[in-house]
Structure 1
Amino acid sequence: MLIGVIRPTESRDLTAEGETLEAIHDAFMAQVPEGWQFTHSSVAMPKGSKALTATGRMARWGETREIEAPDLDALHTAVPEGWSLMSVRRA
């Protein structure tokens, strides 16, 4: 029997606007729910504007689960959509 550790691979895009980088960061953090991680952002200032606009991304990385299967092919088949196999060990 093999045991696999899986984690979610879901990610989502975020947008934020503000007059300072701190305001943008706060706006992003307000959008990130528990169990998700803020991964990165890109900030721009449109011509003729004092406001900053930003796009960012968050991902669900903290959660892991174990799945079992008799062989490696069956273990790969048992990985649900939106999840990734991180490690495998024998039971």
Structure 2
Amino acid sequence: MQDTTNITVIGAGNGGIAAAADLTMRGFRVTLYERPQAESQLEDIRQLGGIHLESLPSSGLQSGFAKFDNITTDIEEALHEAELIFVVVAAFLQEEI
């Protein structure tokens, strides 16, 4: 059996959350990272442990609850076991990251 790839998604805006949920639904281990200054964006996701993903039937994508393996504002923790890193942030934030 092949090991599951560990993926870190940097950015918990709409795009980052959607990407993290889709990757989780596809069977990857996903860590979602957001900057400490924007930690409030993670409150609901942390409380639930993930998000409910609803896809259009015509998209061929899965719908359901996407439970993230880790949700953090600590960049070292987020990158610790990452094999792939998706940076899903606005262009003006990329230099900071």
Query: Does 1 or 2 have the higher relative contact order (CA < 8 Å, sep 6+)?
Result: 1
Larger Cα Rg: Structure 1 or Structure 2?
A: 1
Higher strand proportion: 1
Return the TM-score normalized by structure 1. 0.26
Higher helix proportion: 2
